[in-house]
């Protein structure tokens, strides 16, 4: 508790977001603070050169003083360059000034699945969930072919835009050659999502699928049951999810997961 309090105090004192209206690099005018992540502060900004809205990400000042923080920020830039996929934001610019280190990315204007499920009350059945998973697997396979693991495939980081899916936020992404650094005290779910392995992304997708499926779940009793008992889905879909969630022998590649889903 004390550690979390000190971290929160540190953010308040040293990592305050820049104010809307501020002009950065004589080009990017901040319009909105989107949020603060583990090491970065993200903004929407107007690019005065191109007259388009972009995402501006600033390395937190406290993280800029650490080697790991600097490396993580630089790695996100490297990974976005390497990914180069139409369903991933493009890296547009990177620079450093008296306000800190920044990268600028394409703004993917759409709805996150967090908003679709909890704000808009959208529900997804088995057929829709399977179709979404297959599209995501195609995108993720392109990462894995370049030895890149996303490690944060959650409902806030997957966007639907004009019927097409996009994956954002590569702040935790890494290369398969990167050294693994995990906190053994983290939640077990987090420990399965963040190893530097292909299986971690597939685990995250399985968890993502449960969010979609539970959006159409109508509880009939107050008794707590497992997801396998509560969700009305086919036996073969349950089996595929068990593999993704590492409850049975995990899938070791996107191809294995795709094959299982296509057989449903």
The tokens for 201 are 């992304």
- Write down the catalytic residue from 93, 120, 152, 186: 152
Q: Establish whether 57 is an annotated binding residue.
A: yes
- Distance (Å, whole) CA 43 – CA 87: 20
Q: What Rg value do the Cα atoms of the chain yield, rounded? A: 20
152 is catalytic: yes
* Helix (H) or strand (E) segment spanning residue 77: helix 67-83
For residue 54, the cross-strand partners are: 45, 106
**Coil, strand or helix at 149:** strand
Q: DSSP assignment, residue 68?
A: H
What is the end-to-end Cα distance of the chain in Å, rounded?
A: 46
Q: Which residues are catalytic?
A: 152
Residues annotated within a binding site: 57
Residues annotated within a binding site for ATP: 57
């Amino acid at each position: 508790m004390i550690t979390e309090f000190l971290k929160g105090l540190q953010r308040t004192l040293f990592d305050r977001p820049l104010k809307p209206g501020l002009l950065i690099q004589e080009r990017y005018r901040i319009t909105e603070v989107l949020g603060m992540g583990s090491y970065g502060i993200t903004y929407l900004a107007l690019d005065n050169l191109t007259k388009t809205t972009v995402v501006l990400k600033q390395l937190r000042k406290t993280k800029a003083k650490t080697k790991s923080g600097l490396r993580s920020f630089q790695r996100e830039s490297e990974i976005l360059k390497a990914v180069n996929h139409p369903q991933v934001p493009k890296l547009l610019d990177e620079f450093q000034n008296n306000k800190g280190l920044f990268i600028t990315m394409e703004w993917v204007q759409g709805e996150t699945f967090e908003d679709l499920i909890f704000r808009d009350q959208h529900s997804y059945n088995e057929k829709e969930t399977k179709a979404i998973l297959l599209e995501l697997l195609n995108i993720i396979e392109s990462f894995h072919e370049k030895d890149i693991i996303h490690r944060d495939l959650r409902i806030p980081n997957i966007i639907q835009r004009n019927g097409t899916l996009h994956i954002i936020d590569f702040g935790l992404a890494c290369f398969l050659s990167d050294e693994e650094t995990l906190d053994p005290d983290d939640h077990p779910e987090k420990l399965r999502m963040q190893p530097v392995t292909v299986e971690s992304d597939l685990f995250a997708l399985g968890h993502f699928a449960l969010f979609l499926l539970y959006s159409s779940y109508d509880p009939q009793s107050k008794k707590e049951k497992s997801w396998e008992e509560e969700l009305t889905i086919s036996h073969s879909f349950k089996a595929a999810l068990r593999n993704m969630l590492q409850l049975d022998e995990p899938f070791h590649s996107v191809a294995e997961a795709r094959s299982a889903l296509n057989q449903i």
